[in-house]
Amino acid sequence: MSRYGREEIMSSSEVVRNFGSVLNSVSQHTREKVAIVRNNKLEAVLLPVDVYEQMERVCEMVKNGHGLSGGVGNSGALLEFLRTNRLSAAARMSPKEIEQQILEEREAWE
């Protein structure tokens, strides 16, 4: 599960009132993400488009099964992606933990 700093969590009404500045802070990478909460429930996460597109590419690689046989494979690529983009909670995972998570997600997709 991802972790969010206090400065990364905003209510949906606060995001609406300050949308321009929130969007700028995320798109300019002064804030890595914004978790949007409505009725005390996490509803969405706002990410920079380049981070989202990188995540999509990594997920597509995993979905297609590239590098999942014996070794770090895509889990290494995923770990590197997470570290590069400072997604702190997931970046603390070992390649073996990420490999296990990838395998579990693949099983859920099938």
pLDDT along the chain (110 residues), means of 10: 82 95 93 91 91 81 58 57 55 62 63
What residue spans in the chain does CATH classification 3.40.1620 cover?
Answer: 6-46
Q: Which amino acid is at 89?
A: A
The reported pLDDT for the residue numbered 68 is 43
Q: Whole-angstrom Cα distance, residue 8 to residue 35?
A: 6
Q: Using CA atoms in the order 28, 34, 36, 37, what is the torsion angle rounded to 10 degrees?
A: -150
Q: Tell me which fold the domain 6-46 belongs to.
A: YefM-like fold (3.40.1620)
Chain-centroid distance, C-alpha 27: 15
Model-level pTM? 0.57
Whole-number pLDDT of residue 106: 63
Q: Label residues 10-26 b or e (16+ Cβ within 10 Å = b).
A: beeeebeeeeeebeebb
Whether the Cβ atoms of residue 51 and residue 30 lie closer than 8 Å to each other: no
Question: Is residue 47 a contact partner of residue 26, using CB atoms and an 8 Å limit?
Answer: yes
